[in-house]
């Protein structure tokens, strides 16, 4: 059976498309899907780092996880970090984007300044904030002392260590979210703002009733990205606190690292990693079922 010229052209185009995406698919399978499969397999076994012997345990690692009080504390720390970091980062980014969405002279400099923290490597940023939080000579404590407030041992106090990391995370990620939201603001028709001004609508009402609905798809994207970022936090904890004091800053990714590479219990670390994956997918599903339905797409 002879294929028509149109069919052959379509097959040729499809073959070219698959050939172009094949390298990416190979890397995705090798470094994403295969590790997930291996992690699920290891979670049902007793696997010790560096030892070839593997013993089947069934659900024992997950039962151990359920009864692990430290795991629940770590999960609570991670949830607390997420619940504070995402709304504060996105709220700050939205206000910055609205303020910088103007044609005033020198705006490019301000935009670059607010985006600059994003370009600083995470380890370097963590070391900078360790200096800023230093109890004896840190600028933040000097500022508190100048205001007549007591100096705090930010990273050495179980009450303040996690809020200190949250503050640094907001500083680090707000510029990234700001850039995305600023790009979305460029697409909002200026005629809508002009008409609202003529009708006497305040700036706050314009933000609530015009800006946010029209950039809601971007806000939805930013929330999902922020959620993924918040559950991947590791480097700041590793550099600044090592999970201390008294596990007050221990988060799920660092707890996985502890069990997998410090305690060399790969099976238990895999069980934690799989639980984290299911937990994050569930949260994204909740976000999609709630915020996703409120997204307003232009032209629909």
Where is 196: in which H helix or E strand? helix 190-198
From 117, 119, 224, 222, select the one nearest 180 (Cα to Cα): 222
Token pair of 149 as six digits: 């407030």
Per-residue pLDDT tens digits for 93-128: 999 888 888 776 777 787 888 888 889 888 899 999
At 80 the pLDDT is: 94
Tally of helices (H runs) and strands (E runs) in the chain: 15, 2
Per DSSP, what are the bridge partners of residue 265?
A: 48
Structure tokens at 144: 């508190």
**The pLDDT value given to residue 4:** 66
pLDDT, one tens digit per residue, over 250-292 is: 999 999 999 998 888 999 999 999 999 898 888 888 888 887 7
**Secondary-structure percent of the chain, ordered helix, strand, coil, rounded to 5:** 75, 5, 25
Phi, psi of 45 (to 5 degrees): -135, 160
In this prediction, residue 250 carries a pLDDT of 94
pLDDT of residue 166: 94
The tokens describing 73, both together, are 């504390």
pLDDT of 112 reads 82
Per DSSP, the residues of 56-121 read E-TTHHHHHHHT-HHHHHHHHHHHHHHHHHHHHHHHHHHHHHHHH-S--TTHHHHHHHHHHHHHS-
Residue at token pair 């939080």:
133
CB 284 within 8 A of CB 227: yes
Mean pLDDT of the 82-100 span:
91
Counting other chains too, the contacts that 52-61 makes at CB distance below 8 Å and 24 or more residues apart are 57/267, 61/267, 61/268, 61/270, 61/271
- What's the Cα-to-Cα distance from 160 to each of 31, 123, 189, 277, rounded to whole Å? 37, 20, 44, 28
CA distance 255 to 243: 8
Residues 204/167/258/261 CA torsion (nearest 10 deg): 90
């Amino acid at each position: 059976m002879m294929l028509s010229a149109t069919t052959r052209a379509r097959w040729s185009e499809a073959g070219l498309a698959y050939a172009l995406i094949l390298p990416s698919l190979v890397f995705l399978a090798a470094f994403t899907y295969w590790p997930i499969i291996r992690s699920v397999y290891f979670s049902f076994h007793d696997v010790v780092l560096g030892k070839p012997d593997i013993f089947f345990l069934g659900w024992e690692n997950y039962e151990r996880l359920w009864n692990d009080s430290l795991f629940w504390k770590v999960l609570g720390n991670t949830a607390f970090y997420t619940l504070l970091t995402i709304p504060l980062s996105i709220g700050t980014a939205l206000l910055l984007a609205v303020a910088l969405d103007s044609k005033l002279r020198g705006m490019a400099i301000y935009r670059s300044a607010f985006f600059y923290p994003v370009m600083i490597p995470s380890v370097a940023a963590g070391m900078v904030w360790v200096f800023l939080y230093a109890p004896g000579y840190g600028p933040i404590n000097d500022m508190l002392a100048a205001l007549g407030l007591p100096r705090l041992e930010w990273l050495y106090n179980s009450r303040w260590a996690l809020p200190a990391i949250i503050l640094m995370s907001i500083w680090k990620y707000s510029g990234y979210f700001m850039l995305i939201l600023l790009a979305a603001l460029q697409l909002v028709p200026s005629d809508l703002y002009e008409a609202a001004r003529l009708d006497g609508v305040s700036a706050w009402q314009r933000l609530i009733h015009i800006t946010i609905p029209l950039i809601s798809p971007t806000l939805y994207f930013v929330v999902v990205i922020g959620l993924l970022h918040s559950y991947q936090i590791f480097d700041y904890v590793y550099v600044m606190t090592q999970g201390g004091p008294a596990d007050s800053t221990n988060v799920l990714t660092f707890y996985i690292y502890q069990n997998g590479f410090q305690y060399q219990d790969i099976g238990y670390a895999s069980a934690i990693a799989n639980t984290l994956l299911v937990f994050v997918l569930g949260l994204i599903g909740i976000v999609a079922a709630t915020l996703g339905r409120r997204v307003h797409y232009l032209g629909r």
